[in-house]
Amino acid sequence: MPVDFNGTWNLVSNDNFEGYMVALGIDFATRKIAKMLKPQKVIKQDGDSFHIHTTSTFRDYVLQFKIGQEFEEDNKGLDNRKCKSLVTWENDKLVCVQTGEKKNRGWTHWLEGDDLHLELRCENQVCRQVFKRA
Ligand code: VLZ
């Protein structure tokens, strides 16, 4: 049985989002706004299909994928760079590799107790986010 990520999750901590955004080339003005945000994630998981909606007062981002099926991701409203993304299970972690212009780009989701964790990686920067159930 895979882990169940279904639910609505509110950001409670956000370590080095600034470094992650700098690595992505997000401009100063956008970073100033973005780092104040407390995004919410709505995750819908049905078998191997996922729908992750990250919402905030500033911008929204929607990601839909199936485990093991590579897809083109446009990162619209983030850095707007296209990449090829592939999400797989690594034990109980959901691991995404985003292949493109930026080295070492990807993210990992996992559950720890009642918390949802997200590690966002780009080049030599790692951002660590923790979410609690809404
Ligand atoms: O999450 O890739 O859950 O896509 C932040 C929106 C969205 C706020 C961050 C605006 C998306 C930021 C992180 C403006 C620069 C992400 C994946 C894993 C799903």
Atom of ligand 1 nearest to the CA of 61: 7
ipTM: 0.94
What values do phi and psi take at 132, rounded to 5?
-115, 150
**How many structural domains compose the chain?**
1
Within a domain: 93: yes
Question: Looking at this protein, which amino acid is placed at residue 27?
Answer: D
Atom of ligand 1 nearest to the CA of 55: 6
CATH number of the domain residue 30 falls in? 2.40.128.20
Q: What is the pLDDT along the chain (134 residues), one digit of tens a residue?
A: 689 999 999 999 999 999 999 999 999 999 999 999 999 999 999 999 999 999 999 999 999 999 999 999 999 999 999 999 999 999 999 999 999 999 999 999 999 999 999 999 999 999 999 999 99
- 54 located within any domain: yes
Ligand 1 in reach of 42 Cβ (< 6 A): no
Both tokens of 47, joined, read 């078998």
CA–CA distance from 83 to each of 50, 74, 79 (Å)?
Answer: 18, 7, 11
Ligand 1 centroid to 47 CA: how many Å? 23
Whether 2 maps to a domain, the answer reads: no
Residue range(s) defining the domain that contains residue 41 = 7-133
Measured from the CB, is residue 71 less than 6 Å from ligand 1? Answer: no
- pTM confidence score: 0.97
State the alpha helices, DSSP H only, in the chain.
Answer: 17-24, 28-34
**Cα distance between residue 29 and residue 14, in whole Å:** 18
